[in-house]
Amino acid sequence: MNGLDYWFLDWINGWSNSWNPFLKFFSVALNISYIKIALGIYLIGLLVANVRSRTAGILTLIAVGIGNTITNIAKSNFPVHRPFQDFPFIPVDDKGQLGALKSDHVTTVLSKIPEHVYLRVGWADSMGTASAHSANMAAVAFVMTYYFKWWGSPWILVAFLTGISRIYTGAHYPSQVLWGWMVGCFAAFVVIKTWEAFQRRRSGVQLDGDEPPELA
């Protein structure tokens, strides 16, 4: 996996700095105040619109919380470095201006392809085992698409661009983004199916293993 991981990292991270404003936005959007406000308004709209949208909104919050927790547990118990912790890196500011090559905290990486990484986000000590950003957006996309079909599908694009942006900015390896997407989808799937099972039981719908009704 390492060979492909390094190859895709080198390719995507090496895309032109003209992509920086667009892709970095998806990488750091959840840290931007007006994005938080917009998402809050969107969530409130879901909660007050109707029963279906309210269910989708609540399950999305739960799925995101679970997915985020899983990624944090993975980072603590199965630590894997981020690209800029493995390779020398070149800081890139918001205007696409390159800084000087740095080599802080560089470790030995066998069969490495990149000579350096373009770091377009802040340096961090935290591990990158599974991308929480990717997990969060995948969970949102899964629930929204499940409940709203095509109306929820734009969230798939958001989840995809978020994952790609984390590679482009040098924050994660492609495999770490892939793990994040899988964690988010898994969390959303479990939450939805758990809710549906609860609804069936509450509605008195026959569950597997129940005695079949007698025929007249």
For residue 105, the domain's CATH number is 1.20.144
Q: What is the pLDDT of residue 182?
A: 98
Per-residue pLDDT at 111 exceeds 80: no
Mean pLDDT of 150-161: 95
In this predicted structure, the answer to whether residue 195 has a pLDDT above a threshold of 60 is yes
Q: Residue 112 sits in which domain range?
A: 2-200
What total number of domains does the chain contain? 1
For residues 112-123, average pLDDT: 89
With respect to residue 214, please indicate whether it lies within any of the assigned structural domains: no
pLDDT at 215 > cutoff 50? no
Is residue 42 scored above 60 in pLDDT?
A: yes
Q: Domain for residue 215, yes or no?
A: no
Q: Is 33 part of a structural domain of the chain?
A: yes
Reduced to 3 states (helix: H, G, I; strand: E, B; else coil), residue 75 is helix
Angstrom distance (rounded) from CA 101 to CA 45 = 46
Phi-psi bin for 153: left (phi > 0), alpha (psi -120 to 50), beta? alpha
Among residues 72, 79, 94, which one has the least CA distance to residue 28?
94
Q: Which of the given ranges, 43-57, 89-103, 182-196, has the highest pLDDT on average?
A: 182-196
Query: Can you give the pLDDT at residue 103?
Result: 81
- By the 10 Å C-beta count (0-12 exposed, 13-18 middle, 19+ buried), 86 is classed as buried
Q: Is 206 exposed, middle or buried (0-12, 13-18, 19+ CB in 10 A)?
A: exposed
Least confident of 90-104, 118-132, 141-155: 90-104
Reduced to 3 states, what is the DSSP secondary structure of residue 26?
helix
Q: Is the pLDDT of residue 90 over 80?
A: yes
Tally of CB atoms within 10 A around 25: 14
The whole-angstrom separation of Cα 166 and Cα 205 is: 44
**Residue 53 to residue 43: CA distance in whole angstroms:** 9
The per-residue pLDDT of the chain, averaged, comes to: 90
Cα 119 from Cα 56, distance rounded (Å): 36
pLDDT at position 108: 64
Mean pLDDT of 76-85: 94
Backbone angles phi, psi at 89, to 5 degrees: -135, 155
Q: What is the pLDDT of residue 216?
A: 43
Mean pLDDT of all residues in 180-185: 98
Tokens 């070149």 -> residue: 90
CB-CB contact of 173 with 84 (8 Å):
no
Q: Is residue 213 part of a domain?
A: no
Instruction: Kindly state the DSSP code that residue 118 receives in the 8-state scheme.
Output: E
